Amino acid sequence: MIKASLRGLLQRKLRLALAVIAIVLSVGFLSGSMVLSDTLNARFAGLFATINENVAVQVQPTKESDNGERVLLSAAELEKMSKVDGVDKASGEVSGQGVVPFQSDTGDEVTTQTTIAAGTDGRDPLGLVELREGDWPHSADEVAISANTAKLAKVKRGEQLKIFVPQLGEPKNYRVSGIVGYSGGRDSLAGEALILFELGHAQEMFYGKRDVFANASFSAKDGVTHEELKKRIEAQLPAGFKALTGEEVTEQQSNVLGDQFSVFQIILTAFAIIAAFVGIFLIYNTFNIIVAQRSRELALLRAMGAGWGQVVGSVMLEALIVGGVGATLGLALGAGVGALVERMLTSGIGLGIESAGIVLSPWAVLWSYAMGILVTVIAAFVPAIKASSVPPVAAMREVVRPDKSLVGLTITGSCFLVPGLALVALPLLASVPQSTLILAAGLGLVFIGVMLLSPMLAKPVVRLLGYLVGWGQAGKLGVRNSLRNPRRTAVTAISLMIGVTLISAAATVTESFKTSLENDIGRYDVAIIVLGPNTAPPDGRTGYNPTAMDKVSQLPGVTDVASWHITLNGALGGQPYPGLAATDVAVAQRMWKMETIEGRLGKLSPNEFVIDDNLAKDRGWKVGEKVKVRIEAVERDYTLVGIYKATPTVSGPLLAEAAVDDFAGGLAYQGFVSVSQGTDVAATVASVDKIMSDYPGVTVGDMSAFLKQFNQIFDFLLRAITFLLGVALIIALLGILNTLLLSIVERTRELGLVRAIGLSRGAVVRMVGVESILIAVFGCLLGLVVGVGSGAALSQALIEADFMTTIVLPWTNLIAYVVTAILFGVFAAVVPALRAAFLNVLDAIAYE
């Protein structure tokens, strides 16, 4: 049996090639994303290992802050630990975030991935950096900078460098006292900027007092292991601190970075799974058709006494081999592409870190094989069962395969579709708990239902489409061919439907959101928007100094200005709430036409706040409610004084301006400006931009510019989704190609016949093309209906939550998808159609 199935495999290698390609692509996608992130991680791990090269032990606070006070190490505590037996040298770290240098010529901010800002007392005990020229900073007006920083900011030793420090609120000029570099003559570790302030000055700026450190690193004397030193230092640890070996620190730092990559990897994996799912349909069809074509051979085997299990086994063995071969090739492809993309990424962002080589983790190998083999085995299972049920007598006669009834499938499909639709409708019509979950479940059921109903839908829909494309006799024959096996047509079409569903759902939601925002924003009396940098999450230390807005309010034509302080580090009623805002609600009310639902808006006194109606409903709060609000580490009782109507533009809790005192810094993250009729907005934008030029990363624009920027983000997201679905779409294309090729082999004699009675080559090409286009467009239409429906349902749910106001169908996109489907059909048909057209007529007629 095994021998028979192996021989069969070789004979069908061409037909199986496409199944293998499908696996290669989806496994390649998966393993590629894993190799990419593993390789990237290894590269960064190498970087951190360099940084911590001389660190034997590092002492860190167990938590960042305690009761709002930052946990710091005192000079005395550092001194005590440096006396521990075995410590060679000790170094206390002082560092700050959000520090940005400016370029000397243009006055623009230096653009780099990160800027490291630290304090130094002129010694670098652990020898990470070395002085190249000049001197260490000795006063509050001096800095030493890395050679890379000097290059980026275009300054030399002795010149002035403008630097923004969030704690100061305004940029300040420093004299460059010296240039430093890293060991090995490197200007930077990874393209970053490095600014070293005088120690005491840095401590005062970053921590508000002298003689304190964020953490401390120690090197070990010869013969003392890192573990041993860690134990000894642990005995001397101050409360609230922990000790880690240098290796542990490296791992910790790599993990922080790794977590960021893992989100990226999860997204890629999701799309790889979608691609694999699409592959299931291709492989299912391949095996199904192969089994159908082999039914005589299988029946013969059965007649000769092969058991049920042997027949199933022989088909499953083929599947295993196909899966294994596909997974192996996919893994190789993934490793190559993953490593290549990693190369491009790192060189693209100017990371000067040395590569650690291609990393192929055991997990990547394991998952690749699991996916490849699982997918084929699932796909081949039903055909295998079918193969085993071929009655032995079938060997004796010409096998006639009657159209199998679709009743069972249709009933099952309805059993999914109807409850699915009900679940989708439920949260849209009535307010129920867990509405998102119900909606998602409903959409899932609808999707499965439509998939199961697709063979039943194929006949009427394809016939209807046939009127459009089935011109001439060749076209008619093509339409008939696509109708002759609705299951096969449907299964092939589904592979395209999956991708189209996702894309069109995303397009519908995006389009609705864009239009809602456009409509909503048009209602307001806001002309200019100031936005903080998007490099770091807002907490009061990124953005602009609100005093700048006072200057803006002096500009001609400006009627109103508002500064919004925003922090992601807060909690509302005991639950973390990223996005607390503090602003003058009276101005906000004017600008954003906020509608009072309950209580009052207007100027708030300290410890007062207002929220939108959805949040109020969600939490069950009424006006007068006392609510605990935490900002950073400070928790206070606030009184809810008003509830306003949520709009797509303004929602969430707004705190009294006094709350800013609790923020990590006094910088405002967003600003809004209204102007009187007839004011030159462009000129005003330019003036505001000039005022804001001192604050790094702050952008200024008029409303339409921001809307455009916003739309671009959505368009980008949509493009990214489409791009990531590319592999799934290519597999769908291969699926159509595959089905056509196999059908053509199956219909060889028919082709010979129609050619003999006068159908031209061109007509044969058209016949195959029509079939292909019909399959593709059918799949596309199924996807569009389900996708747009899902998108509309999701949009409706977002409308209920006041995130948007209207549902808009993305017509241009939808038309583009149909056109693409037609092109897909044409592409997929090329090879099969030419094959069919160039069949030798006589051979075809005589074909067994």
Partner 1 sequence: MSAAARAVDVWKVYGVGEAQVIALRGVSLEVERGKFTAIMGPSGSGKSTLMHCLAGLDSVTRGQVMIGEAMVTGLSDAGLTKLRREKVGFIFQQFNLLPTLTAEENILLPLAIAGRKPDQEWYQTVINTVGLADRLSHRPSQLSGGQQQRVACARALASRPEVIFADEPTGNLDSRSGADILSFLRRSVSEYGQTIVMVTHDANAASYADRVVFLGDGRIVDELHSPTAEAVLDKIKSLDLTVGAPE
One residue of 89, 172, 749, 835 binding partner 1 per CB under 8 A:
749
Would you tell me how many other CB atoms lie within 10 Å of the CB of residue 661?
12
Which CB, 484 or 523, lies closer to partner 1?
Answer: 484
Minimum gap (Å) between residue 773 Cβ and partner 1: 17
Which residues between 354 and 373 bind partner 1 (CB under 8 A)? none
Cα(274)–Cα(271) distance, integer angstroms: 5
Minimum gap (Å) between residue 473 Cβ and partner 1: 4
Which positions from 397 to 416 touch partner 1 by CB under 8 A, shown as an x/- string?
---x-x--------------
DSSP state of 540: S
CB 749 within 8 A of CB 839: no
Nearest to 498 by CA among 647, 279, 283: 279
Report the run of H or E that residue 738 belongs to, with start and end. helix 726-746
Residue with tokens 């980008």, as numbered in its chain: 716
Which CB, 221 or 484, lies closer to partner 1?
Answer: 484
Q: Burial of 799 by CB count in 10 Å (0-12 exposed, 13-18 middle, 19+ buried)? A: middle
Angle among Cα 39, 40, 41 to the nearest 5 degrees reads 90
Q: Which tokens go with 521?
A: 């924003």
Minimum gap (Å) between residue 488 Cβ and partner 1: 13
Which CB, 642 or 752, lies closer to partner 1?
Answer: 752
User: How far is it between the farthest Cα atoms of the chain?
Assistant: 102
SS3 content of the chain, % helix, strand, coil (to 5): 55, 15, 25
Which positions from 458 to 477 touch partner 1 by CB under 8 A, shown as an x/- string?
--------------xx--xx
Q: Provide the terminal-to-terminal Cα distance of the chain, rounded to the nearest Å.
A: 24
Minimum gap (Å) between residue 294 Cβ and partner 1: 19
Length of the chain: 848
Which CB, 308 or 838, lies closer to partner 1?
Answer: 838
Nearest to 503 by CA among 788, 796, 799, 812: 788
Cα(102)–Cα(438) distance, integer angstroms: 52
Please report whether residue 841 would count as binding partner 1 according to CB under 8 A: yes
Which CB, 357 or 472, lies closer to partner 1?
Answer: 472
CB 65 within 8 A of CB 369: no
Would you tell me how many other CB atoms lie within 10 Å of the CB of residue 717?
12
Minimum gap (Å) between residue 782 Cβ and partner 1: 23
Which CB, 23 or 490, lies closer to partner 1?
Answer: 490
Residue with tokens 């009729």, as numbered in its chain: 677
Which CB, 105 or 848, lies closer to partner 1?
Answer: 848
Which CB, 243 or 839, lies closer to partner 1?
Answer: 839
**Segment contacting partner 1 by CB under 8 A, of 453-461, 708-716, 748-756, 793-801:** 748-756
One residue of 172, 175, 296, 480 binding partner 1 per CB under 8 A:
480
Please report whether residue 845 would count as binding partner 1 according to CB under 8 A: yes
Please report whether residue 842 would count as binding partner 1 according to CB under 8 A: yes
**Segment contacting partner 1 by CB under 8 A, of 112-120, 324-332, 389-397, 745-753:** 745-753
DSSP state of 50: H
Which CB, 658 or 841, lies closer to partner 1?
Answer: 841
One residue of 639, 761, 820, 834 binding partner 1 per CB under 8 A:
761
Which residues between 484 and 503 bind partner 1 (CB under 8 A)? 484
**Segment contacting partner 1 by CB under 8 A, of 280-288, 328-336, 339-347, 838-846:** 838-846
Minimum gap (Å) between residue 735 Cβ and partner 1: 22
Cα(320)–Cα(312) distance, integer angstroms: 12
One residue of 60, 188, 481, 504 binding partner 1 per CB under 8 A:
481
Q: Is 158 left (phi over 0), alpha (psi -120 to 50) or beta?
A: left
Minimum gap (Å) between residue 721 Cβ and partner 1: 39
Minimum gap (Å) between residue 445 Cβ and partner 1: 35
Please report whether residue 757 would count as binding partner 1 according to CB under 8 A: yes
Please, what sign has the CA dihedral across residues 690, 691, 692, 696? positive
Report the run of H or E that residue 172 belongs to, with start and end. strand 171-182
Minimum gap (Å) between residue 758 Cβ and partner 1: 3
Which CB, 124 or 771, lies closer to partner 1?
Answer: 771
Which CB, 78 or 462, lies closer to partner 1?
Answer: 462
Q: Which tokens go with 306?
A: 């092969």
One residue of 168, 586, 756, 819 binding partner 1 per CB under 8 A:
756
Which CB, 205 or 837, lies closer to partner 1?
Answer: 837
One residue of 205, 572, 754, 821 binding partner 1 per CB under 8 A:
754
- 13-51 and 308-348 are packed helices; what angle lies between their axes, rounded to 10 degrees? 40
Cα(799)–Cα(808) distance, integer angstroms: 12
* Partner residues linked to 117 by β-bridges: 96, 195
Which CB, 720 or 842, lies closer to partner 1?
Answer: 842
Contacts with 6 (C-beta within 8 Å, 6 or more apart), sequence order: 317
CB 582 within 8 A of CB 663: yes
Cα(562)–Cα(583) distance, integer angstroms: 7
Minimum gap (Å) between residue 835 Cβ and partner 1: 15
Cα(152)–Cα(148) distance, integer angstroms: 6
Helix, strand or coil for residue 562?
A: strand
Please state whether beta strands 580-582 and 654-655 pair in parallel, antiparallel, or not at all (unpaired): parallel
Cα(611)–Cα(589) distance, integer angstroms: 12
Q: DSSP secondary structure string, 176-232?
A: EEEEEEEGGGBS-SSS-EEEEEEHHHHHHHHHSSSSEESEEEEEEPTT--HHHHHHH
Residue with tokens 């070996």, as numbered in its chain: 245
Minimum gap (Å) between residue 788 Cβ and partner 1: 33
Please report whether residue 763 would count as binding partner 1 according to CB under 8 A: yes
Minimum gap (Å) between residue 477 Cβ and partner 1: 7
* Residues near partner 1 (CB under 8 A), total: 25
Minimum gap (Å) between residue 273 Cβ and partner 1: 37
Which CB, 432 or 846, lies closer to partner 1?
Answer: 846
Residue with tokens 């048009």, as numbered in its chain: 522
Which CB, 481 or 796, lies closer to partner 1?
Answer: 481
Which CB, 477 or 691, lies closer to partner 1?
Answer: 477
Minimum gap (Å) between residue 775 Cβ and partner 1: 15
Minimum gap (Å) between residue 469 Cβ and partner 1: 17
Minimum gap (Å) between residue 821 Cβ and partner 1: 24
Strand boundaries in 39-159, DSSP class E: 57-61, 65-66, 69-70, 73-74, 87-93, 95-96, 100-101, 115-120, 129-134, 142-146
Which CB, 235 or 757, lies closer to partner 1?
Answer: 757
Which positions from 701 to 740 touch partner 1 by CB under 8 A, shown as an x/- string?
----------------------------------------
Minimum gap (Å) between residue 493 Cβ and partner 1: 19
One residue of 192, 520, 598, 750 binding partner 1 per CB under 8 A:
750
Which CB, 26 or 748, lies closer to partner 1?
Answer: 748
Please report whether residue 760 would count as binding partner 1 according to CB under 8 A: yes
CB 471 within 8 A of CB 826: no
Minimum gap (Å) between residue 480 Cβ and partner 1: 4
DSSP state of 356: -
Positions in the binding site for partner 1 (CB under 8 A): 400, 402, 472-473, 476-477, 480-481, 483-484, 749-750, 753-761, 763, 841-842, 845
